[in-house]
A = this chain, B = another copy of it.
């Protein structure tokens, strides 16, 4: 945890009293005492600093001493064929730590139908995994998650409405002829929408639908990766393309 995340509603006159895992982290890992300064962030708000005012038992009182600034929102968003729950947990944390603003979790032919019944989609535990990623990466901006149980309404109704927000739209597909750097124009300065399929990939119908919506297919090469590895690899590669100047 490289950042203590605070909820706006728990802050009262710049002060907050923590008694949960954050207090435990401050006391047992950071071993902070009154007067110490900590990096704190307000959810969907600025990253700044707080001072430890009081420590008693397992509670910690912080006072925000430097409001700080709001992080820039990540410029890459993800369409992801719903993976199995254990993989989704890891993906949510890792994607939040690498930086995304939205995740569209969608159905696809090769998604197991049972995944949509996963308990983590019914309660708030997706947020816990996103929060781990934000605490790790020192970010406050929660990615927005939406769930789309039917592929066709997503691609025919939702996708056309959001497409114009994304000048660069990509879909990972092992059989594509282009590699990633050939599928985007460098330097990359725009918002990117990236679609990543299930284990086994997208079926032809799905690829056709994505291409109708202007998503450029690209291949990651001959090595077949697990979905969680592919998500991290591709978010990192898109980030690198943003770092590369005019080529």
- Chain B hits for A167, CB < 8 A: none
**Is A208 positioned at the interface, with any CB of B under 8 Å from its CB?**
no
Contact (A99, B223) CB under 8 Å given A94-B229, A233-B233, A247-B247: yes
A47 to B139, CA, bound (A): 44
Contact (A139, B244) CB under 8 Å given A98-B229, A233-B236, A236-B233: no
Contact (A180, B97) CB under 8 Å given A139-B223, A224-B136, A225-B136: no
Instruction: For A99, give the chain B residue with the smallest CB separation.
Output: B223
A230 to B240, CA, bound (A): 13
A139 to B225, CA, bound (A): 11
Instruction: For A247, give the chain B residue with the smallest CB separation.
Output: B247
Option from B137, B181, B224 in Cβ contact (under 8 Å) with A2:
B224
- Chain B hits for A94, CB < 8 A: 226, 229
- Chain B hits for A180, CB < 8 A: 240, 243
A148-184 vs B, CB cutoff 8 Å, 1 = contact: the mask equals: 0000000000000000000000000000000111000
- Chain B hits for A146, CB < 8 A: none
- Chain B hits for A236, CB < 8 A: 232-234, 236-237
- Chain B hits for A225, CB < 8 A: 97-98, 136-137
- Chain B hits for A97, CB < 8 A: 223-226, 229
**Is A222 positioned at the interface, with any CB of B under 8 Å from its CB?**
yes
Option from B221, B223, B229, B239 in Cβ contact (under 8 Å) with A221:
B239
A98 to B136, CA, bound (A): 24
**Is A241 positioned at the interface, with any CB of B under 8 Å from its CB?**
yes
**Is A111 positioned at the interface, with any CB of B under 8 Å from its CB?**
no
A139 to B124, CA, bound (A): 39
A224 to B138, CA, bound (A): 7
Q: Closest Cβ of chain B: how far from A226's Cβ, in Å? A: 6
Residue pair B138, A233 in contact (C-beta under 8 Å): no
- Chain B hits for A223, CB < 8 A: 97-99, 137-139
- Chain B hits for A99, CB < 8 A: 223
Top-6 shortest CB links A-B = A233-B236, A247-B247, A137-B223, A232-B232, A237-B240, A181-B244
